[in-house]
Amino acid sequence: MAYKLRKEYIGRVISDKMDKTVTVIVESLYRHPKYGKVVKKRTKFMAHDEDNKCHVGDKVKIIETMPLSKKKRWKIIDILERKQAE
Question: What global pTM score does this model have?
Answer: 0.86
**13-44 pLDDT tens trace:** 999 999 999 999 999 999 999 999 999 999 99
The DSSP secondary structure of the chain, one letter per residue, reads: -GGGGS-EEEEEEEEEEETTEEEEEEEEEEE-TTT--EEEEEEEEEEE-TT----TT-EEEEEE-S--SSSEEEEEEEEEEPPPP-
CATH of the domain at 46: 2.40.50.140
In a domain, 86, yes or no: no
In a domain, 26, yes or no: yes
Residue 29 belongs to what domain range? 2-81
Count up the domains in the chain and report the number: 1
